[in-house]
Amino acid sequence: MIHVLAGGKKTKGEYFWLIEDYRKKCRGPYEFDFTFYEEDKLAAVLEKWPFPQDAFVIIADERGEELSSPDFAQLLQEEFNYSRHVYIVIGGPFGVSQDARDRAHYVWSFGKLVFPHMIARLIVSEQIYRANEIARGSGYHHA
DSSP secondary structure string for all residues of 78-140: HHHHTT--EEEEE-BTTB--HHHHHHSSEEEE--S----HHHHHHHHHHHHHHHHHHHHT-SS
- pLDDT value of position 7: 87
Q: What is the pLDDT of residue 91?
A: 87
Task: Kindly list the structural domains of the chain, giving each domain's residue range(s) and its CATH number in brackets, ordered by start.
Answer: 2-136 (3.40.1280.10)
- The count of other CB atoms within 10 Å of the CB of residue 37 is 19
* Bridge partners (DSSP) listed for residue 76: none
| pTM (2 d.p.) | 0.94
pLDDT mean values, one per 10 residues, the chain (143 residues): 89 86 96 92 95 95 94 96 92 88 96 89 97 93 73
DSSP secondary structure letter of residue 30: G
pLDDT value of residue 143: 56
Q: What pLDDT is recorded for position 30?
A: 96
How far is it, in rounded angstroms, from Cα 90 to Cα 37?
10
- Between CA 61 and CA 59 the distance in angstroms is 6
Close Cβ partners of 132 (under 8 Å, ≥ 6 residues apart): 25, 26, 27, 28, 30
